[in-house]
Amino acid sequence: MEMLSMLKVGYTVLRSETPATDLVNTFMDWAARRSLLLLALFMPPYYAYKLASAAAATASPEDVAGKVVLVTGASSGIGEQIAYQYAKKGARLALVARREGSLRDVAARATDLGSPDVLVLPGDVARPEDCKAFVEATVERFGRLDHLVNNAGLANVCWFQDVPDVADFKQVLDVNFWGTVHPTHCALPHLKRSRGKIFVNSSAAAMLAMPRMSFYNASKAAVLNFAETLRMELGNEVGVTVATPGWIESEMTKGKHLSKDGTVEVDQDTRDTQVGLFPVVRAERCAEAIVDAVCRGRRSVTVPAWYRALFLWRAFAPEVGDLFQRVFYRRSSGDEGSQMRTRRVLELTGAKALLQPPSLHTSEIKRD
């Protein structure tokens, strides 16, 4: 009877000379509302396939010994630890970051951990010419490129309405988004020849936007969708793995970020407010999960895994997430006190020692 009613509606629409596209979209609206039943039928065989694929990947991860891996943002944090994980597996490394001194320290450590050859390449992923140069230098040195690890990132922590000039935050997009696009574009011909892999470090913030991080949230959402599009376009030619990590031990969680003026600052009070009661994962643990996912050809990886539950809540009950954010990040006019609610909870409960690795208790960061 319901289908008959739909046909009558369609006939009425046609008689009234309504464009055919309206009829098609009306039908699609009707069908979409009933698609959950189809989804319920589809999910069991789909997850059986996923389970079988995961088992196959677990049995035969890629051996990267002797292969060439280029890592951006390798001077600290997740990128540094990713370099060490590949080094333990015997990969040859090309390490990119702006701080040459820190890169050389990482290179020395990677060599001690088992990498047979490490190339240090000072460069800025926000500069297309630097991206072209470090990809070419890698291929010239090693003769090939097998894995590209897009890891470099930059965060801001400030209320959008307080920003004097939004143009000051183009650098967030330049590093996070274009700093992924340019190296990928330069490396793609070489990766296609080696049937290699691309790793893209997005963020949980791409799906769980947080107050005071508007530019960062947007840039990571762009990175996520770029990676998903790339996977569809490349098919089986080049593997694509995208990470959506939560709060990870890094210079960002030490308090390094862009202030409302677009300048870099290290402010641990602001960090405590922003990270709040979320536990921070050690960078080494995150890197282990990322390299394992790439070597097993997985589409995605989320560290810590429990963030996936938050993604579901965001998808199906977004108002709940909004309420939580407002409770902890609500701001009263002319008063910074309400911004500090999560920090006060940390201080009163002593939870900071439990939720944050010891390395985050100091504001010292690498300078060279």
**Known catalytic residue at 86:** no
**Eight-state DSSP code of residue 158:** S
Closest CA to 81 of 357, 278, 265: 357
> Which residues fall within 8 angstroms of residue 276, CB to CB, at 6 or more apart?
328, 342, 343, 345, 346
Closest CA to 289 of 61, 104, 48, 69: 61
Distance between alpha carbon 212 and the CA centroid of its chain, in Å? 18
Closest CA to 292 of 79, 133, 63: 63
Structure tokens at 350: 């002593």
**Eight-state DSSP code of residue 166:** G
> Which residues fall within 8 angstroms of residue 223, CB to CB, at 6 or more apart?
150, 176, 177, 180, 200, 201, 202, 203, 206, 242
Q: How many CA atoms lie within 13 A of 100 on its CB side?
A: 3
Q: How many CA atoms lie within 13 A of 252 on its CB side?
A: 24
Number of helices (H) and strands (E) in the chain: give both, helices first.
15, 9
What pairs with residue 316 in β-bridges?
Answer: none
Question: What dihedral angle (degrees, nearest 10) is formed by the CA atoms of 198, 204, 206, 208?
Answer: 160
Q: At what angle do helices 77-88 and 100-113 cross, to 10 degrees?
A: 30
Q: Which of 47, 49, 86, 216 is catalytic?
A: 216
Question: Which pairs from 255-259 meet CB under 8 Å and 24+ separation?
Answer: 255/363, 256/155, 256/365, 257/155, 257/156, 257/157, 258/154, 258/155, 258/156, 258/157, 258/158, 258/168, 258/169, 258/171, 258/172, 259/156, 259/157, 259/158
Question: CB neighbours (10 Å) of residue 141?
Answer: 14
Distance between alpha carbon 306 and the CA centroid of its chain, in Å? 16
Active site members: 216
